[in-house]
Chains A and B, each alone.
Chain A
Amino acid sequence: MKTLGLIVNPVAGMGGTVGLKGTDGPEILERAEQLGAVPQAHKRAARALAALLPHSDNFELLTFSGVMGEKPAAECGLKPQVIGSGSSPRTIPEDTIRAAGQMADRGVDLLLFAGGDGTARDVCGAIGTSVTVLGIPAGVKIHSAVFASSPPAAGQVAASFLGGEIVRVKEAEVMDIDEEGYRRGILSARLYGYMTIPDGRRLLQGLKAASAPDERAVQMAIATGLIESMADDRCYIVGPGSTCRPLMEMLGLEDSLLGVDMVRGGRQIGKDMSEREILEGMANAECSLILTPVGGQGFLLGRGNQQISPEVIRRVGKENIIVVATPEKLTSLRGRPLLVDTGDIETDSYLCGYYRVVTGYREAAVYRVSCYA
């Protein structure tokens, strides 16, 4: 018998219906309520759970009381085991964190959570990559890659995962933007971390299709090609993101997944460096900058890697930027360009144009980079 955890952030999404760009923090929630917002996350959770109902004999459902999971589950005809309760009268982020921790302790096979980026961040902070999770999109901000594309899709993927039809997992980004800044028109997102999600890709595509290789295998192919082309006397600035990680691993160096690292002659010059440290490390050496798009919108610069500042970019030079991405990541952009938003208009327009994106061993795509503004 499999175990499924369920956490609903009951207030997720409320800010969006009244134009508040998010619902993080008690004051915003109050404003949202004053503007007439009503909770809707439990409804979206229920739409996902409906897909699980036919499989209810095969898993045990653990959740928190009331609107945090018990209520939407019961509405669908599921009989959850309630293992805790949220704060009253209104739940707070700590409730999500506590619930996620308890479910991880109980060894759930999958944790479904309904919310947005804020909720994803709370879950990520509590359990990291230790438990396989899947987001039911119910929040205002959905920039993270841990969400299914719709509530019914979340339910079906969960059913396939619990039923053993999906056996692979992969790491996906948890992103969040600064809501306060966003309300003032400044979009500043960061890569908050990674969580483990079911890898729902189907391998069997019929007679003609080669099966899609495992994403990590592609990342290793990219790293192999990069290492072959690396010059000993050059300095390599390695940006954040999981696509860059195998490069550092294969060089036998430490990788700061969310930070900027630096390599020269196969040796580590720095790890998780600030802008100043990067500039210092660049002194007296020709440099290349290895970047991968971070987050669902395809941001190359300005989201989660602000330490790679306009000054760093000017010193590196556009021609020395090496962009890496798996073909899956590029195709997930659906034809939209990669984006830069360094905060400096001149730098952004300098960076625009077509780049070779390394997509495999001796394989590249030519892809457009545009300014966000």
Chain B
Amino acid sequence: MEIQRGSRLRNFHQAKWDEEVIFELSTPGERGIHVPEVETEISDAVGDGLSRIPTAMRRKTPPALPEVGQMRVLKHFLRLSQQTLGADFNVDIGQGTCTIKYNPKINERIAGAPQAMDIHPHQDESTVQGALQVMYELDLFLREISGMDRFSLQPSSGSDAILTMAAIMHKYHEVRGEAATRDELITTIFSHPSDAAAAAVKGYKIITLYADEQGMPDLEALKAALSQRTAGLFITNPEDIGIFNPRIPEFTRMVHEAGGICGYDQANVNGIMGITRAREAAFDLCFFNLHKSFGAPHGCGGPGAGALGATEEMADYLPVPLVGLDGERYYFDYEVPHSIGKVRSFWGAFSVILKAYAWILSMGAEGLKEAARIAVLNNNYLLKKITEIYGATSPYTGGKRRIEQVRYSWQKLYEETGVDTHDVTLRLADFGFHLWQSHHPFVVPQPFTIEPTESYSKDELDEYLDGLRHVVQEARTEPETVKRAPHNSVVHKIDESSFDDPEKWAVTWRAFIKKHGEAAAKIRG
């Protein structure tokens, strides 16, 4: 369909290359780089390299890696890059809870500079004083923002930070001789699912509090859940639906009275930076995803950094090493009495740490607060406009405003037209927009979650709104156009039926061939 000039919507069409998987491009003998032969002087001195590896550890056959020339590899990845809907292309506010904000490019330059790129984690600390200073000072900044007393920068994602919190909580109870009896972790249905999942990995039984009619975690349910078996509470606030829980001090007080530890999932702190802090809400632990709120990019699933803060008491359990300053020199501090040990090799994802450090310095304390305020303003502008769109509602608010994001519902649209939230998502892709629904289970029916952050202009928010309005109009007048979407994207529709079938899913090429056979691979003459 041709979009008329005068509309903010674009005549978008995504590139489609029908590109093979790189394994299918392999031609025996082809190479990207011909590594020079080793000079005899070198091989005479150190041998052939392989002979130093114990026989039992040597491969019998070479790895089945794709053999592809440099130019073809370049084309391959450039083509794939055109088939994605990257954050730098679109108005990426539809990936609610992810805090997709602008990641300043200058910070990429800083992180890519040789002073950062070419240092090695095995270097003596006297030769990497600058890097240690960055980590030390970032710790200080994050203490200010959270009110906590010490930060570890080791965890490399939000989920990793939650697992670290679970490990600390376990060690804390172990020191008190209660680790065996305190085996229950309490969380809420609107907290991030990793709060439950990572704690379960650590061996905890998971107790989930459901929301009351106002969308708040049920305080009475918390009372009923607490016991001598309670190890702690991991919770987000504001939760995924964008509602701030003003009773949070009661939650932490009750958990403390029951002998539990309170961990604050602040992966996304974007709406409350510089406004409320973990300390005042009496949390023992908290963490920030530096790759969300603090300006570092998400990086397609990595690298990330889940900076983990602790009160003075809980700092005794943080992973080692921390970074200290003896008055003159920065050093790795291993003197942490009850440390849980390492949760990652070396010191953390340094490039992400550096980008967050640069971002905080460029924003300043007032800038952080202003970013939060604009993010909240943008969100409430959208809340007003979206709830004026036919078929869209925002369950639970009762006319109240939200913090940084909203979980909306298309249930009314679905009942009137049969067009569901998934259909709307696919049709929006035709205009270069992404829209995400919700974690499972779908507590809000036909959900969609939008988080505009501070980065997008009113023009861009309006463009996105026009996209929503356009699709809703189609749902009411020509639902088939929506049901058959996407029309302008790389892939029309994906057969989802095998996604949770262990007989069919394949996360590696080898598994794919094993389960589906050689014939399933695309054969080129």
Chain B positions within 8 Å of A204 at CB level: 422, 494, 496, 499
B418 touches A156 (CB 8 A): yes
- 8 Å CB interface, B197-218 against A: 197, 200, 205-213, 215, 218
The stretch of B32-40, B138-146, B378-386, B440-448 in contact with A is B440-448
* Residue B480, interface by CB 8 Å: yes
Q: Are B497 and A168 in contact (CB under 8 A)?
A: yes
Complex Cα–Cα for A305 and B445 (A):
29
Known interface pairs A149-B414, A328-B441; A205-B436 also in contact (CB < 8 Å): yes
What CA separation (Å) do A355 and B301 show in the bound complex?
38
CB distance A208 to B208 under 8 Å? no
A206 → chain B closest CB, angstroms: 5
| Residues of chain A within 8 A of B416, CB atoms compared | 150, 152
Q: A156-B420, A354-B224 are in contact. Are A211 and B440 (CB under 8 A)?
A: yes
Tell which of A203, A214, A328, A355 has the most Cβ of chain B within 10 Å. Answer: A203
Contacts of B393 in A (CB 8 A): none
Whose C-beta in chain A lies nearest to the C-beta of B183?
A362
Cβ-closest chain A residue relative to B484: A54
A354–B221 touching, CB < 8 Å: yes
A153 beta carbon closer than 8 Å to chain B = yes
Taking CB atoms, residues of chain A closer than 8 Å to B197 are 210
Partner of A205, one of B205, B417, B418, B440: B440
Q: Does A212 contact B (CB under 8 A)?
A: yes
B480 and A368 contact, CB distance less than 8 A: no
Our pick among A165, A214, A334, A367 for the contact of B221 (Cβ within 8 Å) is A367
Q: Within residues 207 to 266 of chain B, which ones have a CB less than 8 A from any CB in chain A?
A: 207-213, 215, 218, 220-225
B493 at the interface (CB under 8 A from A): yes
A302 on the B face (CB < 8 A): no
**Residue A185, interface by CB 8 Å:** no
**Given A54-B480, A206-B436, A365-B210: A211 in contact with B205 (beta carbons within 8 A):** no
On chain A, the residues within 8 Å of B206 by CB distance are 362-364
Q: A152-B415, A206-B436, A368-B218 are in contact. Are A214 and B205 (CB under 8 A)?
A: no
Contact of A213 among B196, B212, B420, B500 (CB under 8 A): B500
Contact A159 to B98, CB < 8 A, known contacts A150-B414, A365-B210, A367-B221: no
The answer to whether B415 and A149 touch across the interface, beta carbons within 8 angstroms, is yes
Give the size range of A's interface with the partner.
35 or more
A39 at the interface (CB under 8 A from B): no
B79 located at the interface, meaning its Cβ lies under 8 Å from any Cβ of chain A in the complex: no
Complex Cα distance, B453 from A337, in Å, reads 35
A156 partner residues in chain B, CB cutoff 8 A: 418-420, 479, 483
**Least Cβ–Cβ distance between A124 and chain B, in angstroms:** 24
Smallest CB–CB gap between B235 and chain A, Å? 14
Task: Assess whether A1 is interfacial by the CB under 8 Å rule.
Answer: no
Is there an interface contact between A364 and B494, defined as CB atoms closer than 8 Å?
no
Q: Given the interface contacts A206-B95, A213-B500, does A165 sit within 8 Å of B418 by beta carbon?
A: no
State in angstroms the CA–CA spacing of A331 and B443 once bound together.
5
Query: Which chain A residues in 331-373 approach chain B with CB under 8 Å?
Result: 331, 334-335, 353-356, 359, 362-368
* Contact pick for A353, options B211, B224, B500, CB 8 Å: B224
How far, in whole Å, are A159 and B301 apart by their CA atoms in the complex?
36
The answer to whether the Cβ of A41 comes within 8 Å of any Cβ in the partner chain is no
Q: Which residues of A contact B367 (CB under 8 A)?
A: none
CB nearest to A364 among chain B residues: B207
Q: Is A327 an interface residue (CB 8 A)?
A: yes
On chain A, the residues within 8 Å of B417 by CB distance are 152
User: Which B residue sits closest to A159, measured CB to CB?
Assistant: B483
Bin the interface of chain B by size.
Answer: 35 or more
Q: Is the CB of B200 within 8 A of A354?
A: no
CB distance from A212 to the nearest CB of B (A): 4
Contact present for B418 and A362 (CB under 8 Å): no
C-alpha gap A363/B184 in the complex (Å): 9
Contact A203 B496 (CB under 8 A): yes
| Distance between Cα atoms of A81 and B207 in the complex (Å) | 54
Cβ-based interface call for A167 (8 A): yes
Task: Indicate if the CB atoms of A203 and B221 lie closer than 8 Å.
Answer: no
Residues in B with CB closer than 8 Å to A293 are none
Contacts of B414 in A (CB 8 A): 149-150, 153
Assembled-state Cα–Cα distance A362/B206 (Å): 6
Choose from B211, B479, B496 the contact partner of A51 (Cβ within 8 Å): B479
A330 at the B interface (CB under 8 A): yes
Chain A residues within an 8 Å CB radius of B489: none
Specify which chain A residues have a CB less than 8 angstroms from the CB of B480 in the assembled complex: 54
Inter-chain contacts of A152 with B (CB < 8 A) = 415-418, 479
Distance in angstroms from B120 CB to nearest chain A CB is 32
A366 near B225: Cβ-Cβ < 8 Å: yes
Asked whether, in the complex, the Cβ of A363 is within 8 Å of the Cβ of B441, the reply is: no
Annotate B80-120 by CB proximity to A: 1 below 8 A, 0 otherwise. Answer: 00000000000000010110000000000000000000000
Q: Residues of A contacting B97 with CB < 8 Å?
A: 208
Bound-complex Cα distance A208 to B289 (A): 15
Given that A335-B210, A364-B208 are known contacts, is A211 also in contact with B418, CB under 8 Å in the complex? Answer: no
Closest CB of chain B to A334's CB: distance in Å?
7
The residues of A that contact B439 with a CB separation of less than 8 Å are 205, 208-210
Closest to B497 in A: A167
How many angstroms between the C-alpha atoms of A96 and B491 in the bound complex? 43
B394 interface residue per 8 A CB criterion = no
Flag whether A202 is at the interface (Cβ < 8 A): yes
Query: Does B438 reach chain A (CB closer than 8 Å)?
Result: yes
A107 to chain B: closest CB distance in Å?
21
- CA of A159 to CA of B95, assembled, Å: 29
Residues of B within 8 Å of A167, CB to CB, are: 497
Residues of B contacting A69 in the complex (Cβ-Cβ under 8 angstroms) = none
Name the residue among B205, B418, B437 with the largest chain A CB count within 10 angstroms. B418
Check if B208 sits within 8 Å of A203, measured CB to CB: no
Shortest C-beta distance, B137 to chain A (Å), equals 31
Q: Report how far A327 CA is from B190 CA in the complex, Å.
A: 13
A155 is an interface residue with CB less than 8 A from chain B = yes
Nearest Cβ in chain A — how far from B431, in angstroms?
17
Q: How far is the CB of A163 from chain B (nearest CB, A)?
A: 9
- Give Cα A27 to B207, complex, Å: 51
16 pairs, CB–CB < 8 Å, chain A vs chain B: A150-B418, A152-B479, A153-B415, A156-B483, A157-B418, A203-B496, A205-B437, A327-B441, A331-B189, A331-B443, A353-B224, A354-B221, A362-B205, A364-B208, A366-B221, A367-B221
Besides A205-B437, A366-B225, 19 other CB < 8 A contacts?
Answer: A51-B418, A149-B414, A152-B415, A153-B415, A153-B420, A204-B422, A204-B499, A205-B440, A206-B436, A208-B95, A209-B440, A214-B500, A327-B440, A330-B441, A353-B224, A363-B205, A364-B205, A364-B208, A365-B189
A-B CB proximity, top 7 nearest: A156-B418, A354-B224, A152-B418, A150-B415, A366-B221, A212-B440, A167-B497
